């Protein structure tokens, strides 16, 4: 296991080990998302207060949770890159930023659209909403900062530092609704606790879209990291041989 993890730190082994994995992951991801979306949009019973509008939950909640966990992953990778100077960790961190910003955007937009008919407004400076918006800006800042440097090493150092500073916001987004009860409600028991308000017909589709989106995150991060490996290892003979093989076939 340790040896396997150690191997993942080598760009070439990361590339080789993900080649077939990425295809299987794509299939599993699309099946999970397909089931979750059809179930959530067509088969789940409407909410007794919000009617069919509640169906936004199947993308809003997983994207919000995803936005937070992608940040945790990106920060872990940034720390590993800073401490042990692992190149693959930096590439994964770089690859996480775009999908993280996308999830934050999806979370904010679907939340705003949901807010209009239920709260009567698209936006309000509530604690949870504001800290989520800050998280979106941190993601965008990390991407912009990295691309602002001509040197790859300076860019990744700066991005890692900003990523680690942004960790301060992580518990705030997570607990905002519990700490300050301004408007956004704390998470309801989608996990299906016995005393939870939501029956299985409601939360099971959310599990499908949730795991589907987790699959999608790993899919996108792995795809981007593989491209990054090809580019950064462009002088290695195995990459050059691969380029000759793949391009001539296309």
Partner 1 sequence: MPDIQFDSLGDFLNMGGYAFYVWTAYLFTLVVLALNLLLPLRDRKRVLKLLKVRMQRDAAQSGQSGLKEGVEE
Question: Which residues here bind partner 1, judged by CB under 8 A?
Answer: 37, 41-46, 51-53, 55-56, 59-60, 63, 98-99, 102, 105-106, 109-110, 113-114, 116-117, 201, 216, 219-220, 223-224, 226-227, 230-231, 234, 239-240, 242-244, 246-248, 250
How far is residue 63 from each of residues 47, 83, 89, 126, 148, measured CA to CA in Å? 20, 30, 23, 19, 28
Our CB check for partner 1 shows the closer of 118 and 181 to be 118
Shortest reach from residue 52's CB to partner 1, in Å: 4
Distance CA 34, CA 82 (A): 39
Shortest reach from residue 202's CB to partner 1, in Å: 10
Whether 107 and 60 have beta carbons less than 8 Å apart is answered as: yes
Distance CA 142, CA 157 (A): 11
Our CB check for partner 1 shows the closer of 22 and 145 to be 22
Shortest reach from residue 113's CB to partner 1, in Å: 5
Our CB check for partner 1 shows the closer of 128 and 224 to be 224
Our CB check for partner 1 shows the closer of 79 and 140 to be 140
Distance CA 128, CA 123 (A): 11
Shortest reach from residue 59's CB to partner 1, in Å: 5
Give the start-end residues of each E strand in the chain.
Answer: none
Our CB check for partner 1 shows the closer of 30 and 180 to be 30
Shortest reach from residue 72's CB to partner 1, in Å: 19
Cβ contacts of 184 within 8 Å, gap of 6 or more: 126, 127, 128, 129, 176, 177
Whether 53 and 119 have beta carbons less than 8 Å apart is answered as: no
């Amino acid at each position: 296991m340790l040896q396997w993890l150690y191997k993942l730190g080598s760009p070439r082994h990361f590339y080789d080990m993900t080649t077939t994995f990425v295809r299987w992951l794509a299939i599993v991801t699309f099946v999970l998302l397909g089931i979750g979306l059809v179930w959530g949009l067509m088969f789940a019973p409407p909410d007794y207060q919000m009617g069919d509008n509640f169906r936004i939950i199947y993308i809003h909640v997983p994207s919000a949770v995803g936005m937070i966990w992608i940040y945790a992953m990106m920060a872990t990778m940034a720390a590993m890159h800073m401490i042990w100077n692992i190149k693959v960790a930096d590439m994964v961190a770089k690859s996480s930023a775009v999908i993280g910003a996308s999830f934050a955007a999806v979370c904010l937009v679907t939340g705003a659209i949901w807010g209009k008919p239920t709260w009567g407004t698209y936006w309000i400076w509530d604690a949870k909403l504001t800290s989520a918006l800050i998280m979106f800006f941190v993601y965008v800042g990390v991407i912009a900062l990295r691309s602002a440097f001509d040197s790859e090493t300076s860019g990744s150092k700066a991005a890692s530092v900003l990523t680690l500073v942004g960790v301060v916001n992580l518990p705030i987004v997570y607990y905002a609704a519990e700490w300050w009860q301004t408007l956004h409600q704390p998470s309801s028991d989608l996990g299906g606790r016995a005393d939870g308000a939501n029956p299985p017909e409601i939360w099971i589709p959310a599990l499908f879209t949730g795991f589907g989106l987790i699959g999608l995150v790993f899919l996108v991060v792995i795809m981007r990291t593989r491209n990054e490996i090809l580019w950064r290892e462009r002088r290695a003979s195995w990459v050059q041989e691969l380029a000759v093989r793949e391009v001539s076939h296309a």
